[in-house]
Amino acid sequence: MQQREIDALGADLLSVPSLPRKPPLTEPDTVIVGFDSEFVSGMNRERPRLLSLQFAIRSPSGVVSRVYYPPDGPLTPVVLVSFVVQFLQDVACDVIPVKNVRRVVLVAHYAAAELSVLDDAIRDVIIRPTSAKGHHARIGTFNFGTEDEPQLWEVRISDLYAFFHTSLAEIGRLVGLDKLDIDPTTLEDLIRTDVGQFMDYAARDAEIAVLAFERWRDVLLAEWGIDLLMSSTTAGVAVEIMRRRFIGIPPVPTRKERVFRNRRRKNGWVSSPTDIDVFDGDKALREVACRSYSGGRVEAFARGLIVGPVVERDVSALYPSATILQPLPNARTKWRSATDLREVQEMEGVGRFCFSFPRTELYPCLPVTREGVARLTFPRTGESYCTFAEVRAAIELGADVAVVKASGFVPTRLEHDHDFGKYMRHFIDRKNASTKDTLEYETNKLLMNALIGKLGERIFESHLLELERFGRNVGVQGLGAAFAGSSRLRQSLRSAPRVGKLWLPEHAALITGKARALMATITARGAHVISTDAVIGHRDTDYMSTGLRELQGAGSDLIVKHEGDALFIARGRLYAILQRSDQIRPGATVLAQDEYWVVVRVARHGTTESKQEFAKTVLRCLAARRDVAESHAKTRLLSAEAAVREGLEINESITVEGQTYWTWDGKRALVDRDVNPFSSWTRTTPYSSLSKLEAAEHERGVRRGRRRRKVHPLTQDQYDDAIRLLLKGGSVREIAEKTGISKSTAGRIRGRVFKK
């Protein structure tokens, strides 16, 4: 995390997880209905034409569904709710009112599609987007009775896509209810020719949605007392389970602080005092922990086409395993300053360190960040904010490390056997006990992996949807797009970031640092690419190391995922594993094939192509031995906020032209900068320092015409000394070292001298 992000948090930097005192909220009388719609996409930005609405509900005898055909005309929220009420009456479902309100939740998969069929969802519906492109929404409360005998119905939408970020077909496979396969462009004709087949197809999507949601909700209620209706994402569910059932000892020291909050009463707003928990530890330590909190390591140690047996191996459950292996502090932990490496070897903590790896080390592992640049670099020398685990891994690789400022603790039984490890072990055991490719297996896996990101969560709100909804309700459409088009107006909408319910930057830094440290000793055995928990290297490389032995002790391992006869690397997350066309392994996924090669695995970060398109592009470039990548049109569906920014409608499709670029990422130096990556390859080396990396970046910018060459003032004495050395036969390097001028300047002086 960078310093400007830490400063923006303000008082939230000292937030602590609040341990719930009351039982979790549930909605036992809320009726859950699967919801889907079929429509024909509009042409030339016309609104979609609705074909049908389908609903499904789970009953003791199984899933019951109905398909309805709405009349022509706009589908307003009240019309949609009237169909919901009609469906519940048709299936004889008795909805129990709570405070005279009958509550219904419509479960849809990728709800943006269903919201798009409403007349104006952004105007009429309160939409809550999630980070996983899900859209929860509140349709509203409507009276279907009389003024004397009102019958109020409150309806909202819960997006299954926010919990399961995968296709509905995959979810159907997990619950044993296969999605029917029909070309969606033929649905309008199918209604006329075979209405029965159309109804089966349409209803199945709603059936899958309600079955998956209800099954998982039942498990959560039975085991944890947590209602899925009260959460918006899988990570939110994980946080509630952790806070309510696993945290025994408070994870950080706290104190009570009295604040005054405005509360609404029957007679108006009143200000009343309340006591809240605030952080009572070392603020400077927390800031260092935030600076030490970084993501996974992504680097390419070679570039080009490497012909030879290669294997991609993944660490199973890297972050859960790192959580188990890493001692974590609690409110009773005694932190103290660490001043020498002996203490770093015996303690756990975070700090600021100066380091220097041997010139022969190809895999330095201490992260260095730059303000304003959102990527990790790993030079041979420099200054790093990192964890003690990473420092120990660096020392194992031969680095000289000096402590600048560090804080740590000597782990006791409580720090080793911590609450977060208990959480991980529970869900690892549950996952291992479940049958693979079932809903139970996937939900346990999701809950196991979803928690870590919440420890360092920062929430940024744009308020763009709220602004556009206000504008449309007063007759001004496009207000959101106008604000989005101006940097100053956009800034006025941004609120200060706030932290999540499980904000623990010390824990987040220690866990992610431990994960990088584990991967560091594995990678140092020899690799072509590392991508967080995946390593690609030669087939015969022995990866047994300190990190791998630790992982195996925690029940994890380095698993072979893909094999190949060649590897093409453009940069860290842009590569392809190839097999020979006449030696395709059994079970390999063939993404593209030509006379010589088969592409079986790709990573295509930053491209607009699908896996198959990218694989074909790789083969064409390899066959031509040069860059022959073509432009591709990529169609994407707009989320609610994206639609507001673009001045379009929710779920509207836009086409973007894009091309795959093979530009090197510049994290490491190419040994042979002129290598043709489509016919040969070169190793890469770490930069000796951050300043060398930045100088190389600047030089690349100069060569591409994006930056101006830096002009350093040259004194007359330096110029005279350079001339004298040149006349004595001195080299450019010798002149640069003795006069203090750059090698490029010395080279230009030599050119002028010999030209004369």
Q: Give the pLDDT confidence of 31-52 residue by residue, as tens digits.
A: 999 999 999 886 656 778 899 9
Tokens of 428: 């690892």
| CB 257 within 8 Å of CB 278 | yes
**Rounded distance between C-alpha atoms, residue 188 and residue 201, angstroms:** 13
Paired residues of 574 in beta bridges: 571, 604
Note the pLDDT of residue 26. 93
Tokens of 412: 């006791």
Note the pLDDT of residue 643. 92
Tokens of 491: 């800034």
**Rounded distance between C-alpha atoms, residue 361 and residue 400, angstroms:** 12
Note the pLDDT of residue 45. 60
Note the pLDDT of residue 60. 87
Per-residue pLDDT reduced to its tens digit, 230-287: 999 999 999 999 999 999 999 999 998 888 888 877 778 888 888 888 899 999 999 9
Residues 6 or more apart whose Cβ sits within 8 Å of residue 462: 490, 493, 494, 641
Q: Which amino acid is at 66?
A: R
Q: What number of CA atoms fall less than 13 Å from residue 216's CA on the CB side?
A: 27
Torsion of CA 371, 372, 374, 377, to 10 degrees: -40
Note the pLDDT of residue 242. 96
- In angstroms, the Cα distances linking 3 to 130, 664, 679 are 26, 28, 43
In the chain, which residues have pLDDT < 50? Answer: none
pTM: 0.91
Q: What are phi and psi of 331, to 5 degrees?
A: -65, -20
Give exposure, 389-427, as e/b (b: 16+ Cβ within 10 Å): bbbbbbebbebebebeebbbbebeebbeebbbbebbbbb
Give exposure, 343-357, as e/b (b: 16+ Cβ within 10 Å): bbeebbbbbebebbb
Q: Which amino acid is at 262?
A: N
Query: If you count them, how many residues does the chain have?
Result: 756
**Rounded distance between C-alpha atoms, residue 426 and residue 326, angstroms:** 16
Note the pLDDT of residue 711. 62
Note the pLDDT of residue 755. 64
* Residue closest to 133 by CA, chosen among 173, 157, 160, 171: 160
- In angstroms, the Cα distances linking 674 to 570, 670, 671, 681, 682 are 14, 9, 9, 10, 9
Per-residue pLDDT reduced to its tens digit, 118-152: 999 999 999 999 977 899 999 999 999 888 889 99
**Rounded distance between C-alpha atoms, residue 596 and residue 583, angstroms:** 10
Q: Is the dihedral of CA 667, 668, 669, 670 positive or negative?
A: negative
**Rounded distance between C-alpha atoms, residue 395 and residue 379, angstroms:** 15
Q: Which amino acid is at 468?
A: E
Q: Which amino acid is at 733?
A: R
